Amino acid sequence: MQSLKRRILEEGRVAGDGILKVDGFLNHRIDPVLMEEIGAEFGRRFANERITVVLTVETSGIAPALFTARQFRVPVVFAKKAGARNLDDSCYQASVHSFTRDKDYIIQVSRRYLGPDDQVLLLDDFLANGQALIGLSDIVTQSGASLVGAGIVIEKGFQEGGRLVRNMGIRVESLAVIRTMSKGQIEFDP
Ligand code: 5GP
C-alpha cells in the first residue's frame, strides 16, 4: 500500500532497540483518512471471506480494526490486557510476551463476545515476533470460532513472526513489509 509506505518513510523513526515509531499516524496520533484506506484495503483482500468479527488487542490495533470492521459491517472485539489481579473467569485468556515492553501479560476476551459460530479476522498494527497474533489465535481456538486470517498494518519481515504464524497455516496479509531498517533508512519488500 503505497500511501502507507510513504507515510512510514516520511514520519517513521527507528528507535535503537528495533522498534519503529509511527506515533504521528498510528500509535499516538491517529490519521482517520489513512485508517479509512487501510480498512478499504483489508476489505478488498478479504472480500471473499465470511467474517463475523474483527479481533484485535488494545490499544493500537483498535483504530485499523475498527475501519476494517466497518467494511464488513461487523463488530470489533479488542482483547484487554490484564494484570494478575484483574483476571476474569468469564473470559478466554492467553499469555503474550510483549516485544516492545519485554514482559509477559495476559490478554482476555469475554466469552459473551466470541463463540463457535464466529468467523474471525485478526487485526494488529505490527507483526514482530508473532506473540500477539499467536495469543489471539489461541483465544479463537478456545472459543471454538473459525479463524479466517490476519491483517497486519506493518510487518517487520526481518523478525520471525511472519514465518511462525504463516507456518501455523494462518493467512497473513500485511500492507507494508519492512525488509530492513536502521536509523535513517527503511527498506520495504516489493
Ligand atoms: P509481536 O507480538 O508480533 O512480537 O509484536 C506485535 C505487537 O508489539 C504489536 O501489537 C505492537 O503493538 C507491538 N510492536 C512490535 N513491534 C513494534 C514496533 O516496531 N513498533 C511499534 N510501535 N509497536 C511494535
Question: pLDDT (tens digit, 0 to 9) for every residue of the chain, 190 residues total?
Answer: 999 999 999 999 999 789 999 999 999 999 999 999 999 999 999 999 999 999 999 999 999 999 999 999 999 999 999 876 677 889 999 999 998 888 999 999 999 999 999 999 999 999 999 999 999 999 999 999 999 999 999 999 999 999 999 999 999 999 999 999 998 899 999 8
Residue with cell 500509535: 27
One-letter amino acid for residue 77 of the chain: V
Any idea what the Cα angle at residue 58 is, between residues 53 and 60, rounded to 5°?
100
- Whole-number Å distance between alpha carbons of 114 and 137: 12
The whole model's pTM is what? 0.97
Ligand 1: residue of 62, 100, 152 to mutate (most ligand atoms within 8 A of CB) is: 100
Class of domain 2-188: alpha beta
Q: What is the pLDDT of residue 184?
A: 80
Q: What is the pLDDT of residue 69?
A: 98
Closest atom of ligand 1 relative to the 26 alpha carbon: 22
Q: What is the pLDDT of residue 51?
A: 98
Q: What is the pLDDT of residue 84?
A: 67
Query: Looking at ligand 1, which residue's alpha carbon is closest to its atom 22?
Result: 21
Task: Tell me if the bond preceding 141 is cis, omega within 30° of 0.
Answer: no
Give 14: exposed, middle or buried? Use CB within 10 Å, 0-12, 13-18, 19+. Answer: middle
DSSP 31-95: -HHHHHHHHHHHHHHTTTS--SEEEEETTTTHHHHHHHHHHHT--EEEEEEE-GGG--TTEEEEE
Query: Looking at ligand 1, which residue's alpha carbon is closest to its atom 5?
Result: 128
Are the C-beta atoms of 109 and 53 separated by less than 8 Å?
Answer: no
